[in-house]
């Protein structure tokens, strides 16, 4: 809940951890807390950069305050479940106030991401971007990365630029597959269909 102590306002925070793959995290609990001017003003200039944090209860989690006044949580020694970290926040010239960090510690996820086949059309002889991950999703909504991909054969070539693929080749129709991986190591594959056409000449 939000506190309403005169001088500053605190908003509780939430973190999600996963057994066996993401058991530690650092949360900037002050990021959404603000000094109050005339009762309501909020903004980047009002951030509680001069606040000091103290852990007063961690519900069996290992929780510590970093030198940068963030909360580091380690769930490696507890079972999956829901936990609450109670934090005392002290701001110079104002009363101390309590806020809470709610932690969901989930069991290891073995659900593969959802990948969908893609179709693209581009111009032959040019590098055609293929944002294949745009219509894919991880089970928990986390990031996906391209783990591998095949080549379409013929004279076309697929390359990777960041987390996007691109194809270059002559006029023709091509297809290949790619594999994406989520943050927990789960993978899935999909196919990509590409039609490369001739660019119309520019009238003289």
| CATH architecture classification, 8-106 | Sandwich (2.60)
pTM of the predicted structure, to 2 decimals: 0.57
pLDDT at 46: 64
The alpha-carbon radius of gyration of the chain (Å, integer) is 25
Fold of 118-197: Immunoglobulin-like (2.60.40)
pLDDT at 37: 57
pLDDT in 10s for each residue of the chain, 204 residues: 444 445 788 899 999 998 877 889 999 999 988 877 544 444 444 667 778 999 999 988 999 999 889 999 999 999 999 999 999 999 877 778 999 999 999 887 788 999 999 999 999 999 999 999 999 999 878 899 999 999 998 899 999 999 999 999 999 999 999 999 998 889 999 999 999 999 877 776
- Residue range(s) occupied by CATH 2.60.40.10 in the chain: 8-106, 118-197
Q: Is 25 helix (H, G, I), strand (E, B) or coil?
A: strand
């Amino acid at each position: 809940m939000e506190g309403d102590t005169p001088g500053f306002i605190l908003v509780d925070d939430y973190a999600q951890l996963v057994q066996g793959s993401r058991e530690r995290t650092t949360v900037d609990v002050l990021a959404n807390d603000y000094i109050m001017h005339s009762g309501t003003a909020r903004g980047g200039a009002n951030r509680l950069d001069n606040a000091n944090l103290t852990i007063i209860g961690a519900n069996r989690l290992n929780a510590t305050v970093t030198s940068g006044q963030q909360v580091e949580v380690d769930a490696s020694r507890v079972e999956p479940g829901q936990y609450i970290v109670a934090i005392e926040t002290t701001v110079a010239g104002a009363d101390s106030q309590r806020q809470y960090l709610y932690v969901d510690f989930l069991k290891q996820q073995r659900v593969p991401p959802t990948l969908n086949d893609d179709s693209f059309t581009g111009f032959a002889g040019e590098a055609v971007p293929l944002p294949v991950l745009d219509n894919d999703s991880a089970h928990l909504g986390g990031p996906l990365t391209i783990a591998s991909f095949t080549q379409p054969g013929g004279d076309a070539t697929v390359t990777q630029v960041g987390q996007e693929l691109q194809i270059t080749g002559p006029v023709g129709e091509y297809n290949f597959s790619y594999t994406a991986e989520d943050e927990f190591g789960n993978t899935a594959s999909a196919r990509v269909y590409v039609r490369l056409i001739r660019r119309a000449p520019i009238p003289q």
